[in-house]
Amino acid sequence: MDTVTKPAQAAHYSFFQGVERNFDKASKFTRFESGILEQIKACNSVYSMKYPVRIGDKIEVIEAYRVQHSHHKLPCKGGIRYSMDVNQDEVMALASLMTYKCAIVNVPFGGAKGGIKINPKKYTPFELEKITRRYASELVKKNFIGPGIDVPAPDYGTGAREMSWIVDTYASLKPGEVDALACVTGKPVTQGGVRGRTEATGLGVYYGVREVCNVAEDMKKIGLSVGIEGKKIIVQGLGNVGFHAAKFFYDNGGIIVGLAEYEGGIYNEKGLNLYDVVDHRKSTGSLLNFPGATNFKNSSETLEQACDILIPAALENVINGSNAARIQAKIIGEGANGPLTPDADEILGKKGVIIVPDMYLNAGGVTVSYFEWLKNLSHVRFGRMDKRFSENQNTSILNTVEGLTGKRVTDTERSLIMHGPDEVDLVYSGLEDTMISSYHEIREALLRVGNGVDMRTAAFTVAIDKVGVAYEELGIFP
Ligand code: GLU
C-alpha cells in the first residue's frame, strides 16, 4: 500500500482539467478532427454511489466511484483506490490516464478507475471487507464489472487482499461464470493471480528509467553517463510502487540517496542501505533518525536535494508551481499518477529536465494485469505447457555442443542454460519488452514532433493516435 499524503493542491485547475490541458497541447500534433478529439477526452460513464455499511454500532454512508473513461476497447481497466482525497474529479482524471496508459503499452483495454473515500487505516480488516464487498456488489448491480466489461485492480490504499474479496463477491453473484476470475486483477496467486504482479509497477519504473538512461545521445545532453549504475536516486513513497522501484534500482547498482514518506524524509549523499532503512522504519515506525542520514521533518524538502533521478511514487500534485524550481534532479520518473502539475512541467521543462511521464512509466502494473487477465481466460499457468519442453531442448543442444567441442560447461552454467521459463520469467520478460519498445515509440514521436516538445506531450500523441484510429475504425453511430 502507498502511504504518502499529498500537500495542498497548488494548481488553479483541477486534476482532470490538468490532464485535459496536457491532452490539448498534444492533440495539435495529431491529425484528428475536433469531434474525435472531444470523444477521446470525455469520460464515457461516471458512476457515483453512496451506500450504508454498519461500522461498530453506527451506520456509515460510504462515498464511492467508478469511472469508465473509454470504451474504444473492452474491457475497461484500472485500479481502485482507498483514500480521503478521492472525489469525482480525481477518479475521472485517473480513469482518463488509464486509457492513454493502456494505448501506450499496447494493452487492449479502455481506461477506468474506481475510488472509495475512506481512510483504510481507520477500519478493521472485517470492516474493510464489508466496505469492499458492498462496493463490488454495487458494481455488479449496475453492470460495471466483469471480465469483458470492466476489470478493476489495486491502486493507492488497496492490494491483493481487497481484490480477493472482489473476485469472491463477483463469483458468488454470478454462479457458473467460467471466466469469473478474470473480473479483477492483482489477486493473490492462490486466487488466480499471476506471479510478478505485486512488484510489476515498480519493476516497470525501473525498466523504463533504465531504458531512458541507456540512450547515450540523450544522456550526453543532460551531462549524465549511460546506465543506472552509480546514479544518485531519490524515491518518494515506500508503498508498493516506490518500494519496488527503489529495490530494483538498488539491486542493480543505483545509489539511493534519499527516501521520503509522510512522516518525513532522509538523505545521505553517499547512499542509504535500502533494506536497513526498511527495517529501521518497521522497528521505529518512522524513516527519521536513520543512522548517518540527514532528517527532513518536512517530507517534501527531501525531493529538493541533490540527485540524478527523482522518482515521485506516491500521489498526484506533489511537485507543483511552488516547489518545482528547487528540484535538482536531471531525470524525473513519474512512478505515481500525476505527481507533476502542468506548472511544474513548464518550470522543469525550461530547465531541461527529462520528465518520464506516468502514463508510460507506471504502466507496468496494467501490463502485468493484462497478463493475469489472459491467464485467467486461458485457465492455465504461463509456462505450464512449454517449461519442460524448453528444458529438454536446451539439454540436447548443450549435450550436442559439448559432444562436438569436447568441452564441458560448469554446473552453474549448465543450470542457467537449461532453465525453461517459469511463469515469473515470462511475466518479467514480457514486461521488460513492453517497457523498452514503448519507450522507443514515444522517443520516435518526440523526435518526429520536433524541438521544444516534452516527453509527456509526445506520449500523449502516441496515445491519441492509437485511440483515435480505434474510434475511426469502430465507426461512429449515426
Ligand atoms: N492501479 C494501477 C494503475 O494505475 C494498475 C491498474 C491495473 O492494473 O488495471 O496503473
**What string of pLDDT tens digits covers the 478 residues of the chain?**
444 444 444 457 899 999 999 999 999 999 999 999 999 999 999 999 999 999 999 999 999 999 999 999 999 999 999 999 999 999 999 999 999 999 999 999 999 999 999 999 999 999 999 999 999 999 999 999 999 999 999 999 999 999 999 999 999 999 999 999 999 999 999 999 999 999 999 999 999 999 999 999 999 999 999 999 999 999 999 999 999 999 999 999 999 999 999 999 999 999 999 999 999 999 999 999 999 999 999 999 999 999 999 999 998 899 999 999 999 999 999 999 999 999 999 999 999 999 999 999 999 999 999 999 999 999 999 999 999 999 999 999 999 999 999 999 999 999 999 999 999 999 999 999 999 999 999 999 999 998 779 999 999 999 999 999 999 887 766 5
Cell numbers standing for residue 261 = 514518506
Note whether 287 and 322 are within 8 A (CB): no
Distance, CA of 187 to CA of 350 (rounded, Å) = 42
Q: How far apart are CA 53 and CA 58, in angstroms?
A: 8
Question: What does DSSP assign to residue 146?
Answer: B
- Give yes or no: residues 173 and 266 share one domain: no
Whether 442 is covered by a domain: the verdict is: yes
CA 366 – ligand 1 centroid, Å: 5
Q: Which of 86, 163, 201 to mutate to test the pocket of ligand 1 (most atoms within 8 A of CB)?
A: 201
Q: Which residues of 185-197 are buried (b: 16+ CB within 10 A; e: fewer)?
A: bbbebebbbbbbb
Nearest Cα residue to atom 9 of ligand 1? 78
* Cis previous bond, 7, omega within 30: no
Identify the bridge partners of residue 59 per DSSP, sorted by sequence position. 54
What is the Å distance from ligand 1's center to 157 Cα? 12
- What is the CATH classification number for the domain harbouring 467? 3.40.50.720
DSSP, residue by residue, 435-460: HHHHHHHHHHHHHHH-TT--HHHHHH
d(CA 156, CA 82): 6
Q: CA-based angle 458:460:462, to the nearest 5?
A: 75
**118 and 180 assigned to the same domain:** yes
Q: Within this chain, do residues 153 and 178 fall inside the same structural domain, yes or no?
A: yes
Residue 116 has phi, psi (to 5 degrees) of -120, 130
Are residues 84 and 148 both part of a single domain? yes
Indicate if ligand 1 lies below 6 Å from the C-beta of 79: yes
Q: How far apart are the C-alpha atoms of 354 and 333, rounded to whole Å? A: 8
Q: Is residue 318 part of a domain?
A: yes
What is the atom index within ligand 1 of the atom nearest the CA of 154? 1
- Is residue 454 assigned to a domain? yes
CA 396 to ligand 1 center in whole angstroms: 42
Query: So which residues are the catalytic ones?
Result: 113
Q: Are residues 246 and 171 in the same domain?
A: no
Residue 55 belongs to domain spanning? 45-191
3-state secondary structure of 224: coil
Beta carbon of 185 within 6 Å of any ligand 1 atom: yes
What are the E-state strand segments in 138-246? Answer: 150-154, 232-236
Question: Is the CB of residue 81 below 6 angstroms from any atom belonging to ligand 1?
Answer: no
Q: State whether the beta carbon of 118 lies less than 6 angstroms from ligand 1.
A: no
- Is the minimum distance from the CB of 366 to ligand 1 under 6 angstroms? yes
Identify which of 2, 109, 150, 155 to mutate to test ligand 1's pocket (most ligand atoms within 8 A of the CB). Answer: 155
